[in-house]
Every structure is written in C-alpha cells, then in structure tokens.
Structure 1
Amino acid sequence: MSILGSVIILNFKNTTTEILTSGIDTVILSVGATEQFGPYLPMHLDTIIAELYADAYGRELNAYVLPTIPFNTSEEHANFKGTVTVSPNILTAMLEEIICNLLRQGFKKFLVCTGHGGSYWERSFVKHINYKYPQIILISANHNNHMAWEAAVEAAGFHDLSEMHGGPLSICTAMWLCPELVKINSMGSDIPTENRLYADYLGWDKLTLDGCWGKFEEGIYSHEELAEKGKLFWTTFIQKRTEGLKQILEEGYRRKTQE
C-alpha cells in the first residue's frame, strides 16, 4: 500500500487487513492480451498498456487494483503462433464472477479497462452488468476517447498516423516500456484502404504482410526518440482519459442507487 496525499492506493499485493481497513469500495478490472505484434515486438504489449490504465485509474478513483488478465478476444491474430484468444462469453463470464465475488464483500463501484483495441465485448458487458445488478455501477474510461487520442497524437508528434496494430506507435510503446525485448527492424506495410472492410471478418494473416497494420521504417528516429514518443503518447492519452472519471463514477452511482 502507498499513499499519495490523501489517496490510498491498494492492489492485489496488499493484505486482506489493509484492504478491509481502507474503506475502499471501488475496484479496477483490467484486461490485456497475448497476441502477435509483428515479427519483432513482444506479444504482451496490450497487457502492459492495460496495467498503465489500471494504475492511473486506481490512483484517480482511490480503488483496489486487481491483476491484469493477459488474455482477450484476439481472433484476428489467432493464426499467428503464440497468440492466445478466448471467446467473449468466457471472458465476460469470468469478469462477472469476479464482480459478484467482490460485491458480496461490500465493493460497490467497478471500472473495466482493456489495452486491446479489439475488445468489442467491453461496451456490451458494461451495459449488461449495470442492468443485471442495480445495487452497483460498472463504468469504462471511454467518455472522451476521441479527444484523448487526438491530444496524444499531437503530443507525440505523430503525423498521418494510420496504424491499427504493429506500426510506429507500437514500436514507440515497446521502446518506452520494454526496450530490452525489442528487435528494431523495419516492419509492416501500407495496407490497402479497402482491407478495413474485412478487418473483423478475416484473420490478419490474410490482410497484412506480417501481421502489422501500419508501416515502420528503421533509421528515421533514434532509439531514445522512439521511447520518448511512446512516453509522450501514452502519458497524454491516459491523462486525458482520466479527467472527469471520478465525477462520472460517483454521480453515476448516486443516480443509479438513489431511491
């Protein structure tokens, strides 16, 4: 347990006594992924990103931060060796079980976040849980996602960023968060615009050259510049998504549970 000002930050490394005496009633559920990121990047990038979200949201909401689940709905990448994908039914059933367990212990407010852009189940899950369990609230941090993305792109100095997965942003992210695991090489290719029509229907082994939806060219930036771009992007993006989060959670809970 650590304390920043009056904010108590708790996670799964704390004791049950510390969690009990804290009075915290909010939980952060985060989901990453284990999926290919082209030929030269590690497969846990989405999990690291989800951990960044969880830590930032936990601090903002004074919440109990659970460990990040490292598997997700990664069907589009499933033909690349090493990728793990689970069905949305299994994933959301497990998350609901976790919520129910913690509900019985007195937790009332929940936030779910995911580091994987293909987590289409997230919005439906939030609606379902809020309908099924009137005594609690579950939110996500997507209230200003578009503005956050634009601000982050500008802060990092990306121009004409058309990447969906495994392009320059992914390289910069890895160079900031886990540079020791990165093999810097040119990768990816320019993907025909019409391929977007099939991105949710076909495996990306049929739509991309090497699994990357975006093109990275080695030698344009130094390793340090790549890492700095990754840092600027994600710190800006997460900061913007964190703004107003506490108000949404507290006001949403009040409105939902008031008589």
Structure 2
Amino acid sequence: MAYVDKDSRSVDWQLNESGIVVWPIGAFEQHGYHMPLNTDNIQAEYFGKYLAKRLDAALLPALPFGTSLEHAGFRGSITLSPELMMGMVAHMADELEAQNFHTLIIMNGHGGNFSIAPKVREINRQDRPIKILIVRPWEHTTAFSGNEIHSGEFETSVLLEIEPKLVGDDRRD
C-alpha cells in the first residue's frame, strides 16, 4: 500500500498489520541514448511495489536521486553526496522508528548508492527497535547479464518488460 495514498488512520492500520515499510531509492542519471534518466527509479519503484504487496507493507515514495559520482558530467545526471545519502537513511530510520515501524526495507535500484550499506550496518548494530534491510535486485544477476554494469542488454530488457514505451526504438531488437 502506497504510504502517500493513505491518510493517517490508514497508515496506522497498516503499521498495526505488519510494521514493515518499503522505501525505493533510485538515481537520476544517463542511461545511454535509449533509456530515460529515471530508469533506476522506475525499476526501484516497480520492484518496491511488488515487495510491499507481497509483504503487506507500507510503501514510501521513491527517493529519485542517488549517488551517481561516476556519471558526473553527463548531461541530465544529478548526484547526491554519499554523506547526504547516509544522513537521509539515518533520518528516515529515526522518523519511521518514532512511528513504531520495526522494519525498513530499502529497495535500491542503483549500484552507485554504495554509501547506504555502511550506514545501515551502523544503525542495525545499535540497540534500536527498527532494523533496516537493503534489497539490491541486480546483485545476483551476473549469470544472466554477462557481467554488464550499466545500461546494457540486461537493464534494457528489464525496462522493456516494465515500461516498453520508454525504451528507444534502436534497442528493441
């Protein structure tokens, strides 16, 4: 259930049912000439919605920007510093913990969001009611993707399945 579509009573009800919230995090960066800048967001939101539905969890709005230092200089790419990303994860944990959520699942749609993991480990080591999990859908796909990293056949195929109209015609074959 999308958190943004609920009123306060509905969010409370959702909390009482599972105590789990899913937060998609993507990036806004170049994906070649055939895919949109928000490709990572589209994929993080898609898999985040799927996971939230399967777990009967609340779904936060996606964070549309990530750490994309490797794409600095590419037209349209916007990056957040690792420090800012770590701060946002810590603040979100505080906010959700104050509302009695016990599990935050980050659906990470971008490999460059490397700074999230150390902050999650730090928070999880503390004696706190909230625990954080990171789901990285692409982490175990190298057998299928041929070790490609970015904007190649595998990532293009995923976007073709989710939002085919957003993939440029030159990559549909």
Query: How far apart are the structure 1 equivalents of 2:147 and 2:20?
Result: 36
Whether the 8 Å contact between 2:142 and 2:148 is mirrored in structure 1 is no
Q: 2:77 aligns with which of 73, 76, 83?
A: 83
Q: 1:178 aligns with which of 129, 138, 163?
A: 163
Instruction: Confirm or deny that 1:58 pairs with 2:52.
Output: yes
Query: How far apart are the structure 2 equivalents of 1:142 and 1:168?
Result: 18
Comparing 80-89 with 107-116, greater Cα deviation is found at 107-116
| TM-score under structure 1 length normalisation | 0.60
Percent of residue pairs bearing the same amino acid type: 27
- Larger radius of gyration, structure 1 or 2? 1
Q: 1:42 aligns with which of 36, 39, 59?
A: 36
Aligned-residue offset at 1:142: 5.4
Counterparts of 1:9-20 in structure 2 under 5 Å?
9-20=1-12
Segments of 5+ residues of structure 2 without an aligned counterpart are none
Counterparts of 1:229-244 in structure 2 under 5 Å?
none
Identify the structure with bigger relative contact order (alpha carbons < 8 Å, sequence gap 6+).
Answer: 2
Whether the 8 Å contact between 1:33 and 1:46 is mirrored in structure 2 is yes
Segments of 5+ residues of structure 1 without an aligned counterpart are 1-8, 186-217, 227-259
| TM-score under structure 2 length normalisation | 0.86
Instruction: Confirm or deny that 1:166 pairs with 2:151.
Output: yes
Aligned-residue offset at 1:104: 1.1
Whether the 8 Å contact between 1:10 and 1:19 is mirrored in structure 2 is no
Query: How far apart are the structure 1 equivalents of 2:128 and 2:62?
Result: 26
The two structures, once aligned, show a CA RMSD in angstroms of 2.3
